[in-house]
A and B are shown apart, each in its own frame.
Chain A
Amino acid sequence: MAEQNLDTVLVIGAGVGGIKAAIDLAERGCRVILAESSPALGGILSQLDYQFPNNHCGLCRMLPAWERDPASEYCMRKGLFHRNIRILPMTELIGLEGGAGRFEATLRTFPRGVAPERCIGCGRCEEACPVEVYDGFNEGMGKRKAVHREVPHNVPFSYVIDFEACTKCGECVEACPTEAISLEEKDTQAVYQAGAVILAPGCGLYDPGPPDAYNYQSLPDVITSLELERILSGSGPTSGRLIRPSTGEHVRSIAWIQCVGSRNAGRGQDFCSSICCMFALKEALLVKERSPETEATVFYMDMRAYGKEGYRYHLQSAAAGTELVQCRVHTVEAGPDGRLYIRHYLEAEGEVRERAFDLVVLSTGQASTPEMKRLAGVAGVELNTCGFAPGPGLRTSAADRAGVFWCGSATGLKDITETVLQAESAAAEAAACAGVTSESPESPSPATRDVSREIPRVGVLLCRCLGGQGRDLPWEEIRGDIAAHPDIVDVVEADLLCRPEGFDEAVRKLGGKDLNRLVVGACAPYVYDRRLRKLGAGLGLREDLVEVVDLRGTGLGTGDPREKRRLAGSVVASAVQKQKHREFPGTAVISAVRKVVIVGGGLAGMTAALTVAESGIQVHLLEKEDRLGGETRQRRFTLDGGDPVSFLQGLEERVRGHEAIEVYTGTELIGFSGEPGCFAARIQTGDKGESLACGAIILATGCREAETDEYGLGRSNRIIRQGDLEAGLAAGRFSAGDLGRVIMIQCAGSRDPDGRAYCSRICCASALKNAFKILEVNPDADIFVLYRDFMSYGFMESRYRELREMGVQFITYRPEKKPEVEVEGDEVLVRFQEPILRRTVDVHPDLLILSTGMEPSDNRSLARLIGIQLNEDGFFQEMDPKWRPVDLERPGVFACGTALSPRNMEEAVIQARAAAMRAVILLGRKTLPSSRTVSEVRQALCSLCETCISICPFEARFRDKDRIHVIPSACQGCGLCAAACPNGAAWLPMFTDRQAMGMIEGLVD
C-alpha cells in the first residue's frame, strides 16, 4: 500500500544535508519522509563537537526560527522533532519507480530489536548483554555492547540491537522492564509516494589501511583526523584528554599529514577533498587551546583554506602557533624511542628531512562507498568516474533523472556552509518538483477553551512506573503531601503513561474535574513531553497548560524513602507554581506580504527571482544598470566546458517572460523600513520614485574583478587581468604568436592582510580554464603559473593535474618573496625563484596575467539603509556563516551571490536558490505566527534605557520615539532582555519572575 500524498518529498540520509533539506521542506509546507540507514540522526556531525569559525557546535542554529515551541526543538544533537517530518531510522531505499511528481519509493526498514515507544532508556539490557564489540561512534576506540545507544547523547535515548554482533542469548529480553525487546523481528518493506527525492547519503572517508606508507594499521599512534576529533571530545574514549593511544602519555608534539587518500590519481582518487585543510587547521587550534605547549605541525602540499573566511582562519591557526610545512611526505616510521618519524621532502630547499612526533594524524579525505553506488543504481542515476554524484552544474542540481536531487558530501566532501546551501537549493527544487506552491498546510489545532480568566485549578497526574524504578516509592505519602497544596484540585495516579493503555486510563481518571492546569510527573520528559502534553486535549486544555516534570531524573532512584518523598513533592510543587503564576499573552500575528524585492539582476539575482516566482510569490527585481546580467556577462567559458553566455541569455529570457517577475532596470533602492513579512521598499528609477511593499528582500549586488597596484598593472599593455584575458581569448584577439610565453601570477593583491585579506576562490580555476584556452590557440605555449597555494578544490583537481601533465609549469612563491615585475619599454620582465634549479630566473613573457580576484560591489550605503553589517572586506555579514549562510542580521533580509562571499557561477546559483528558499519559507504562510515565548514591554515600567536593545542577539527590539517595540517574528524568546531589564519592563510572558520565584520556592520546600 502506498502511503502519503504527492506533495511529499523523500529525503534519503539524515546527515546535515538531509536534515537541512528536510527542515526547509517541512517549513515550506511539504510533508517529508526522512529515511536514514543508521539508527541515529546527524551523520558525521554527531561525532564532531567543535566547528570553525568559533569552535562551537552550533548545530541548533539550523533549526527553524519560526514557531520553535510547537516543534519543542532546541538541540539537534538530541534529536529532531517536526510535525511535518516523519523520520524512518534504519531504513534504506531499495526501489524507485515512476518519475518527477509521481515517484513510488520502496523502503526497507531493518529491525531495531528494541521498540522505541516502549523503551524507557533504563539501560538494564545493556548491563545484561554479554557481547562486546568495538564502538563505531568513537571510531573503534573503546567498546560497546551488542545492545547499545548509537549516539550516546541522542534523545530519545532508546536502545538498538546490533544484530550482526547479537548472539540472541535473550538476556536483554529478560532484563527489560517494559517488554520492549524482541529478537525475532524481521525486515519490513513499505511503498511511499513522493513528488521528489533528495539523495543525501553522505560519502565515506578514505581508509588509510595497507598498503600505505604511514603504517596506520601497525602503529597505534598514527590515527585519522576523525579519530583525533573523538579523542578531543568530552564524550570520546579519553574524555577529551589529549593522550597517545599507545602509552596513555600526554601528547607533546602532534603532526597532521594532509591529502591522505586525496590528490592521488594513481589510486583513482583524482580529486581534492576540499575540507581537510580547514579541518586540520581547526584541530590544530583545538590542540593549541587545550595544550598550548604541545607542538602542532601540519605537513601539506597546498593549504586550501579558500573562500571568504578561510585565509583568516589559516592565519589565526598559524598565529596560535601551528607550524605549517609545505612539503611532500614520504613515510611515517616508528623510531627506537617509540616516537614517530616523518620523512618529508621540502621542495623549496630540495632536501629530505626527518622529524619526530608523539602523535601523527592522517587527514583522510573523501571516498566513494558501496552505499552511494547502490543508491545511484536504485535511483537510476550515474556517478562520476571517482564514484561520486554529479555536481549540480549550471543547469540545475538535478541528477540524470528528473525529480531526483543530490546534495551534501555525496557530491564530494563539503563543509557545513556548502552542504547547507546545497541542501536548501535542492529543497527549493524538490518543492517545485513536488508541486508545492500553495500556502503551508496548517495542522488543525484541537478545540481548547480559554482559561485565562479562571482561578487556577491544577490537577496532578503521577506515573508510578518511572522506568521500573518507581515501584518502591511511598506513593500514598507523596500523594498526600502534594494534595495538601491549596491550588491542587486532585492528584491522580497511573501506570505506564508511555503506553496507550496507561494514557487512556489517565484521561478517564482526569475527566470531569474541571481542571485548567495539569502537572504530569513521569520519566524522561524529553521522550514523552510532547505525547503527554496531548493529555490536555482530552481536557480541552492547550498543550502549554500541561507541564511535564521528570520524577525519575531527579534522583528518585537512589536515596532513602523519606528523601524520595521530599524530592517528588518539591519537584511537583515547583511545576504547580510555574503553572499557577503563568500569564496568558495574546499571540501576535502579522499578515505576510507575499512579495519579494531582489536587489541586483545578475546571475544570482535572476536565479533567486526565478526560484521565488516559481513558488507562486511575486518578485520585484531591481537592477542598477540598464541591462540584466551583471558581472557574469564577462564570463565567456567555464573550466568544465559550460557556455555561460547562452546560459545567461536563457536565464534572462525566463526571467523576463515570467508573469510573477517585474524587472526594474536603472533602478536603485533608496529606502527600507518595516519588519519581516511586512517591509516597505522605496525605489528610484531616474527621477521617478516609487514605494513597493514586500515581505522579504534578497540582496544580490554582486562583485567586480579587483584592481591591484602590484606587478605593474596598467603600465604595459602586456600586463592584464584574468578577466581581460578571457574576453580577449573569446573575441579571438590573441594569435598564437601573442601567446608564446605567458606568465600568470596568482593572489595578486589577494590573501594579503594589508590588502584583500580573503581568498577569492575563483582565480585558480580562472587560471586553469584560461591556460586550457591558451593551449587551444597555441599548443606550444610556455605557461608559467606562479602561485602560493593552488586552490583547485574538489574535482577541479583533475584539471589541474592535466595541465601539469601538459607541461604548464606551476611554481610556488612565498608572500615574503613575491615575483618581481619590471616594465622595460615594450618588454616586461618577471623575476622569480625557480625551485628545481633553486635560483632566480628572468623571464620576458608575451603576456603577464594577474589573478586579482574579485571584490564585492560597494555596499556601504545599502548596508546602512537596511541596517545590516558588512564584514571587514565589504561582503555582507551572514547571521551565521555556517548554519544560516544566506540570512543576514536583520530578519527577513537575505543575500546571495558574490556580494555575500566569493564563489563561482555554479556555487552562486546554488546560493541564490538557497536564499530564495529562505524567503519563500518566510512568506509561505498567510500569516507569520510568532512563537508563544515572545518578549514583551511593560511600557509603564520602561525607563527607555535601551539595554534590552543592545543585548538582543536577534535584532528583535527597537525604539520608536518613546516606546520600545518587539518584532515578534524575530524574537526567539531567549530571555536576555528580561534578564537585563532591572524591573521587568522587558519580560517573557511564559517565564515571569513570579513563576521563577514560585518554582524555586517549590524546590526548596
Chain B
Amino acid sequence: MTNCVRLPVESGNINDALKEFFSSLLEHDVVQAVFLPMRQPDGVMVMHTLVRDPKRLEGLDPLAPVTPTSTARLLSSLTFKKPGYRIAAFLRPCDCRAYVELVKLKQADREQILLITTDCEGRLEPRDFLELVSEAGDGSAMVFHERLERDDDTLPLVRACRVCEHPVHEGADIGLRIFGSDPENELVLCAQTNVGTEALYPLGLEEAKEPEGRGKALAEIIAGRIAERDSMIKEYGERTSSFAALRDVLKTCINCYNCRAACPVCYCRECVFLTDTFRHDPEQFFRWAGKKGRVKLPTDTAFFHITRMLHISTLCVGCGQCSTACPMDLPVMELFRTAANRTQARFEYEPGRSPDEPLPLSVFEDQEFLELTAE
C-alpha cells in the first residue's frame, strides 16, 4: 500500500494546489480547523493563521521562506488545554520537534493535531524575506526554491538552517516532499503515521510514489549541513573555552530576554530572571562595585545565558529563533547548539525524536554519572 498522494500543480502555482488540499481537509471534516502560514492583508508578511472556513484560505503560503516567530509555541497556545477541535497544523521540522518537546512538557496536545510538515530548505530572516517579496511578490516560495536549486550563494539563508541536520521530521503525520521532487508540476504528500494515512484516505486524491531522487538528495543535504554544524561547534567551542571568553562573546547583551521569549522550548510562564529572585537590593550593586572597584550594568548576563542552557539545552531543536529575535546580533543559536551538542549526547537524548522518549530530567537513573558520583 502506498501512502503518498499527488497534488497537480498548474502553471507553477503551488499555493493553489495546497489551498485545494487544505480546503478539502476541512470540507471532508477530517479536521475542523487548519493552522498554517498565510500572507496577511497587507500582502507582505506571512504569519500563521487559524482558519475554520474553507472559503477563507486565500493568501495561504505554507512554503514562504520565513517563520517570524516560533510556530510550535503558537500551536501550543491553541492546545495547552485540549481544544475540542481537530486541527491540521503546518509546521517546519524544527517546529515539529519543538512541539513534541512541548507535548512532553504538558504544554501542548498531540492527539487532536494532524501534524503536517515539509522537507525544509530553510528560512530567511524577516527583513531578508521582505526584500525577496519586493522582488518576487506572491511567488517568493518558488523563487527561493529555484535559487537554492541553482546553489545561489547570495541567498541569505539563516545560519540555524545552514547547520540544521534535521531538514525533515518523520514523526509528523504527513510530510510534503520537496527534496528530489518536481514542485513546479506536482506536489507529493506522504502519510508518515497511521493518523496521516487515515486523514488522506477520504480526500480521494491520486496515489503517488515517493519521489525517486529524494533519498539521495536528502542524504547530500544532511551531510553538508552536518559538516557546517561541526565546524560551527568547533568554532564556538574555541570561542567559549573559558568564562572570560564566553563573557566576551556576550559583552553586548542588553538583558532584553528576547531570546528566551522567542525560544519555543523556554516554556516558563515567567522567567526566573524576571522574578524577585533577581531583583537585587540596590545595596547589592554597591557591594559588587565595592568589591572590584566597578560593576557593569545590567548584571547577571552570563548567568542568564548559562541558566537558560542549563534549563533547556537538552531540549534545544536548533530553530534559531533566539538569534532572529536578538536586537544585538549575538550568536545565541551558535552558543546554544554548541552547548546542546554535548548535553544532548550526554543523555543520549534527541529532542523531538519521539513523544515517548522521556525528558532527561524526569528520569531517575540509579547508576548514572558514576565518574562523578562513585567513590
Interface residues of A (CB under 8 A from B): 54, 234, 240, 486, 940-947, 950-951, 953, 980, 982-985, 992-994, 997, 1005
Contact = CB atoms under 8 A, between A and B. Distances in A.
24 contacts: A240-B375, A940-B270, A941-B270, A943-B105, A943-B107, A944-B107, A945-B105, A945-B106, A945-B107, A947-B359, A947-B361, A950-B362, A951-B364, A953-B364, A982-B268, A983-B268, A984-B272, A984-B275, A984-B277, A985-B268, A992-B277, A993-B272, A997-B277, A1005-B291
Interface in B359-375: 359, 361-362, 364, 366, 375
Interface in B243-263: none
B147 interface: no
Contacts of A234: 375
A946 B102 CA distance: 12
Contacts of A1005: 291
A941 B362 contact: no
Contacts of B107: 943-945
A794 to B, nearest CB: 32
Nearest to A980: B361
B267 interface: yes
B361 A983 contact: no
B343 to A, nearest CB: 14
A107 B277 CA distance: 56
A983 B364 contact: no
B346 interface: no
Contacts of A944: 106-107
B311 interface: yes
Nearest to A951: B362
Contacts of A985: 268-269
B295 interface: no
Nearest to B286: A486
A983 B105 contact: no
A945 B104 CA distance: 8
Contacts of A982: 268, 272, 311-312
B270 A983 contact: yes
Nearest to A487: B283
Contact of A940 (B269, B272, B359): B269
Interface in B293-340: 311-312
Given A983-B275, A984-B277, A947 B105 contact: yes
Contacts of B268: 941, 943, 982-983, 985
B219 interface: no
B271 interface: yes
Interface string B93-109: 00000000000011100
A947 B361 CA distance: 8
Interface string B268-291: 111110011100000100000001
A994 B280 CA distance: 9
B349 to A, nearest CB: 14
Contacts of A984: 272, 275, 277
What 6 pairs between A and B have smallest CB-CB spacing? A950-B362, A983-B268, A983-B272, A982-B311, A945-B105, A993-B277
A375 to B, nearest CB: 38
Given A947-B359, A947-B361, A941 B106 contact: no
Contacts of A992: 277
Interface of B: 105-107, 267-272, 275-277, 283, 291, 311-312, 358-359, 361-362, 364, 366, 375
Contacts of B275: 941, 983-984
A569 to B, nearest CB: 13
B144 to A, nearest CB: 36
Nearest to A580: B281
A997 B281 CA distance: 13
B257 to A, nearest CB: 12
Contacts of B364: 951, 953
A944 B81 CA distance: 11
Secondary structure class of chain B's binding surface, majority of residues = loop
A942 B269 contact: yes
Contacts of B267: 943, 945
A240 B375 CA distance: 10
Contacts of A486: 283
B362 A943 contact: no
A737 B375 CA distance: 66
Given A486-B283, A982-B312, A983-B270, A54 B359 contact: no
* Of A945, A993, A997, most B-chain CB atoms within 10 Å: A945
A985 B277 CA distance: 12
A942 B311 CA distance: 15
A215 to B, nearest CB: 33
Given A941-B275, A983-B271, A984-B277, A54 B283 contact: no
Contacts of B358: 950
Contacts of B375: 234, 240
* Of B312, B358, B362, most A-chain CB atoms within 10 Å: B362
Nearest to B276: A994
Given A941-B275, A947-B362, A953-B364, 12 more contacts: A940-B270, A942-B269, A943-B105, A943-B107, A943-B267, A951-B364, A980-B361, A982-B312, A983-B268, A983-B270, A992-B277, A1005-B291
Nearest to B307: A982
A891 B359 CA distance: 26
Contacts of B359: 947
A55 to B, nearest CB: 10
A102 B234 CA distance: 79
Nearest to B312: A982
Nearest to A979: B361
Nearest to B267: A943
Nearest to B363: A950
A953 to B, nearest CB: 7
A985 B269 CA distance: 10
Contacts of B312: 982
Contacts of B311: 982
Contacts of A993: 272, 277
A294 B116 CA distance: 57
Given A940-B269, A941-B269, A945-B267, A994 B362 contact: no
A950 B362 CA distance: 6
A980 B358 CA distance: 14
A980 B361 CA distance: 7
B339 to A, nearest CB: 15
Nearest to A953: B364
A240 B269 CA distance: 50
* Of A234, A950, A992, most B-chain CB atoms within 10 Å: A950
A648 B98 CA distance: 63
A944 B269 CA distance: 10
Contacts of A947: 105, 359, 361-362
B285 to A, nearest CB: 13
A940 B272 CA distance: 12
A946 B104 CA distance: 9
A602 B276 CA distance: 57
Nearest to A982: B311
A950 B106 CA distance: 12
Contacts of B361: 947, 951, 980
Contacts of A994: 276-277
Nearest to A234: B375
Nearest to A997: B277
B68 to A, nearest CB: 24
Contacts of A983: 268-272, 275
Contacts of A951: 361-362, 364
Contacts of A941: 268-270, 275
B370 to A, nearest CB: 11
A702 to B, nearest CB: 31
A530 to B, nearest CB: 29
A950 B291 CA distance: 42
Nearest to B361: A980
A974 to B, nearest CB: 12
A972 to B, nearest CB: 15
A791 to B, nearest CB: 29
A437 B216 CA distance: 80
Contacts of B106: 944-946
